Amino acid sequence: MTKKGFYVIILMEVIMNIGKVLMGIGLILIGIAFLTANLTINENYTKKQVYLNKDEIQKIKINVYDHNIIVEESLTNKISITYYVSKNDLKEYYIKDRQASLISNKRAFNLFNFNFKNYPVIIKIPKNIVLDIDLRTSNGYISLDNLDFNKTNIKTSNGKIILRDITFNNTILKTSNGEINLNNIIGKEINLATSNGRINLNYVDVIRINANTSNGKIAIDKLKSDDIKLSTSNGSVSGSIIGDEMDYNMSLKTSNGNIYINDKK
């Protein structure tokens, strides 16, 4: 081996050792930042609650990130909204023009944060109060249970929409990468849309329904409506509709799937 070659080998070994040291320091710093971020997130959430009388508002609007939204019957005569905040997950609550609003400020980005708490936003409404409601979230589901509404507008991404025992006038439901499940629903007009998700309609009684999904199945059980539009791609449409075919207008469409209604193809 020449003297020049010997020095080259020594230099390469030095560079490799420096690289290992720098990599080790980097991993230590990442670990410290990760632990610090998680401890901070876990310790800083604070529970907030507001209470409203039925005469104060006509509408509730919720627009949050990465939280489930749960709407259910109140056992008191007050409307309540429960939510959680932290320094990295701030929300603004206010009332204007008889609308109670809870709006998220977008969460502070943290490269090392993988553990945001998904505390739900919980809304409780007395059974005898009928409101408009506008709910929006991402990476979370939205559920409504055993209540009456005038207008409902519900939107989420990467989450389900679930309605049980609900009466309404007009409803719009939209989600991506999530199912829409309706059970025991009475209303006038409903529009549903999802991508990469299934639509389940059980005991739905409405004047007009328009349901659309891509890459998902539409399953219906005892659907009752005067005007029915159901469409899907890469999925089937199947189930039962109440009444004779002459009793309602019906449009059923699918690509790459079958249609079975009332045991007929």
Token readout for 259 is: 């249609």
> Which pLDDT band, with edges at 50, 70 and 90, does 162 fall under?
very high
Q: Quote the CA–CA distance of 225 and 173 in Å, as a whole number.
A: 18
Number of helical (H) and strand (E) elements in the chain, helices listed first: 1, 18
Least confident range of 28-37, 51-60, 104-113, 183-192? 28-37
> Which pLDDT band, with edges at 50, 70 and 90, does 244 fall under?
confident
Token readout for 258 is: 């079958």
- Amino acid identity, residue 206? V
**Per-residue model confidence (pLDDT) at position 221:** 97
pTM of the predicted structure, to 2 decimals: 0.81
Q: What is the dihedral of CA 212, 217, 222, 225, to 10 degrees?
A: 10
- For a pLDDT cut of 70, what percent of the chain falls above it? 80
213 vs 12, residue with greater confidence: 213
Position 34 pLDDT exceeds 60: no
**Per-residue model confidence (pLDDT) at position 112:** 47
- For a pLDDT cut of 90, what percent of the chain falls above it? 68
> Which pLDDT band, with edges at 50, 70 and 90, does 256 fall under?
confident
Where are the alpha helices (H) located in the chain, listed in sequence order? 3-43
Considering only CA atoms, which of 181, 137, 176 is closest in space to residue 163?
181
**Per-residue model confidence (pLDDT) at position 107:** 59
